[in-house]
Amino acid sequence: VPDANAVATTAANRIAAVIRARAASDPARPAVLGVATGSSPLGTYAALAERVRSGELDTTGVRAFALDEYVGLDPAHPESYHSVIRRTVTEPLGLDPARVHVPDGAASDLEAACAEYERLIRDAGGVDLQLLGIGANGHIGFNEPTSSFASRTRIKTLAPQTRADNARFFDSPEQVPVHCVTQGLGTILEARRLLLVAQGEAKADAVAQMIEGPLASVCPASALQLHPDAVVVIDRAAASKL
């Protein structure tokens, strides 16, 4: 699509369609969305929020699962993904906070918390649509290069490039956490639909590797090639190396 606005509108249309279809086919089980942090999906969230405000879209009962969280950051920290998801998704989309889940990066037993997160997703009936951004190094969620395609929710070490990319959200680069918990590529691939959004030249290499490169763990997003219903919505700049 031509530009970032069109990315947001196109992605919001698809998400709204899934929310409406679920509400119509099984009112007792509203849609389960997978949501991502990062700047890429912000336009999509804003477009959805506008529809909720105008009464065009009803999000009652919609459940959401975030992809990832930093380890060692207080959930109340403004840059924790608990806070980011509340600010950018839960509140603007009018979701019930009790139905919005973010991995627990502050748990004393992180492995148990990761297993519990997998169980929560399963008990919710799985994810109907997973929204994704892509890192400049091809990561999705925080599945950094060399992540296993079969991986589940687990503890990861952030790649130096990811820490540098995310330093803009912190007072100094040293404050960016070193570890995170993230849904695995295997977890993400189980969502019934994948929807990846990207805009801007900085993502052009990663987008080209994801779509036209080999299926290879050095580009974790290439895992989308394995999924039967994966849609990639990008602007001209992000598509410039295809």
User: Smallest gap, in angstroms, from Cβ of residue 65 to ligand GLP?
Assistant: 13
- Which of 20, 208 has the CB closer to ligand GLP? 208
Give the residue numbers marked as catalytic. Answer: 68, 137, 139, 144
- Which of 57, 183 has the CB closer to ligand GLP? 183
Cα distances (angstroms) measured from residue 78 to each of 34, 83, 84, 97, 229: 21, 6, 7, 17, 34
User: Smallest gap, in angstroms, from Cβ of residue 95 to ligand GLP?
Assistant: 19
Contact indicator for 32, 128 with CB cutoff of 8 Å: yes
Q: Is 40 in the site for ligand GLP (CB under 6 A)?
A: yes
- Which of 36, 57 has the CB closer to ligand GLP? 36
Looking at beta carbons, which pairs linking 173-179 to residues 24 or more positions away fall under 8 Å?
A: 177/70, 177/71, 177/72, 177/73, 177/105, 178/71, 178/72, 179/70, 179/71, 179/72, 179/155
- Which of 30, 65 has the CB closer to ligand GLP? 65
Report the largest interatomic distance among the alpha carbons of the chain, rounded to a whole angstrom. Answer: 49
Residues 145-184 that bind ligand GLP (CB under 6 A): 162, 166
Q: Is 36 in the site for ligand GLP (CB under 6 A)?
A: yes
User: Smallest gap, in angstroms, from Cβ of residue 196 to ligand GLP?
Assistant: 9
User: Smallest gap, in angstroms, from Cβ of residue 18 to ligand GLP?
Assistant: 19
User: Smallest gap, in angstroms, from Cβ of residue 193 to ligand GLP?
Assistant: 17
Residue in 105, 135, 138, 220 binding ligand GLP, rule: CB under 6 A: 135
Distance CA 32, CA 37 (A): 17
Show the DSSP H helices in the chain as ranges.
4-25, 42-53, 81-85, 110-123, 160-166, 185-189, 204-212
Q: Is 199 in the site for ligand GLP (CB under 6 A)?
A: no
Q: Checking DSSP bridges between strand 68-70 and strand 179-182, what pairing results, if any?
A: antiparallel
Q: Is 39 in the site for ligand GLP (CB under 6 A)?
A: yes
237: amino acid identity, one letter: A
Q: Is 138 in the site for ligand GLP (CB under 6 A)?
A: no
Say how many C-beta atoms besides its own lie within 10 A of residue 88's C-beta: 22
- Which of 59, 143 has the CB closer to ligand GLP? 143
Please choose, out of 30-38, 102-110, 187-195, 230-238, the segment that lies near ligand GLP by the rule CB under 6 A. 30-38
Beta strands in 93-239 (DSSP E): 100-101, 129-132, 154-157, 179-182, 193-198, 230-234
Give the footprint of ligand GLP on this chain (CB under 6 A).
36-40, 67-68, 133-135, 141-142, 162, 166
